Amino acid sequence: MIFRIARSPEGRRITRYDDYNLSVTKGMTVLDVLFRIQDDIDPSLSFRYSCRGAVCGSCAMLIDRVPRLACRTPVETIKQATLRLREFPAIETAQLRELGDSVVIIEPLPVLPVLKDLVVDMSSFYQRFEEMKLWTDPEDGQEPRTQIPAELSRFDRYANCISCAICLAACPVCDSHTEFMGPAALAKAWRFYQDSRVMNRGRYLEVAKRREGAPMCELVMNCVKACPKDVAPGGAIREIKSTGQ
């Protein structure tokens, strides 16, 4: 199988694509392929990874124009699996049909600036969390803030976000409007708003309802389909839109 990998040694933009022809064994993931290329063929290839277990979110990239975790994507399933994302320029798939099943295209996540090859600059993604102050400050005293299972269930799925930025890369609004807060940040705001242990919960809803927040979302739901942890940010955004109106 041929792996056509985007290269950008100068950063900020893709300058070329290099082809690597590898024999793939059953069970190999895209991350395994990248290791094989780096170890045996081209040590200059750059990509980001850490846990190798779909926990850290570091290895998110475009695989055949779909944002995925490389560590969680078996090569043998790439051509069969489809998320049916609504396409926009960064994830158009017309070229894939021309290439056929023998070529897999691997590219960095769109929307975010490229540092080198498959490594993107996550600064603007994390900055959204900083600007929205998506955390809680400790309260005075030592009393535990207990919570029953029913209260936990209100936000549990949104707490599973691993900050991989796949939802950002799959979002056509993020692609066309850099000021948009993005699905991950809005889902986290809803997570804190739903947490019964949090004081001043209203501030999270208030910041999420800013012009560049939930009102800007078009509810395309690419984020729901692409999320590797089933966080379903679009569902949280829908709730934000309807709450308090």
Q: What is the predicted pLDDT for the residue at 137? A: 83
Helix (H) or strand (E) holding 214: none
Tokens of 33: 């392929």
Query: What is the per-residue burial (b if ≥16 Cβ within 10 Å, else e) of 30-46?
Result: bbbbbbbbeeeeeeebb
Whole-angstrom distance, CA of residue 186 vs CA of residue 181: 7
204: amino acid identity, one letter: Y
Indicate the domain borders of the chain: 2-119, 122-242
Nearest to 106 by CA among 118, 89, 116: 118
Whole-angstrom distance, CA of residue 2 vs CA of residue 178: 34
Tell me whether residue 54 is exposed, middle or buried, using C-beta atoms within 10 angstroms of its C-beta: 0 to 12, 13 to 18, 19 or more: middle
Q: What is the predicted pLDDT for the residue at 242? A: 93
pLDDT along the chain (245 residues), means of 10: 91 88 93 96 96 93 95 92 86 79 92 95 95 87 87 94 96 95 97 93 95 96 96 96 81
- For the full predicted model, state whether its pTM sits above 0.85: yes
Q: What is the predicted pLDDT for the residue at 93? A: 83
CA torsion, points 197, 199, 201, 206, in degrees to nearest 10?
Answer: -160
DSSP class of residue 21 equals E
Whole-angstrom distance, CA of residue 82 vs CA of residue 84: 6
**Domain 122-242 CATH assignment equals 3.40.50.150:** no
Q: What is the predicted pLDDT for the residue at 245? A: 52
CATH number of the domain at 2-119, out of 3.10.20.30, 3.40.50.300, 3.40.50.10130, 3.30.70.1140? 3.10.20.30
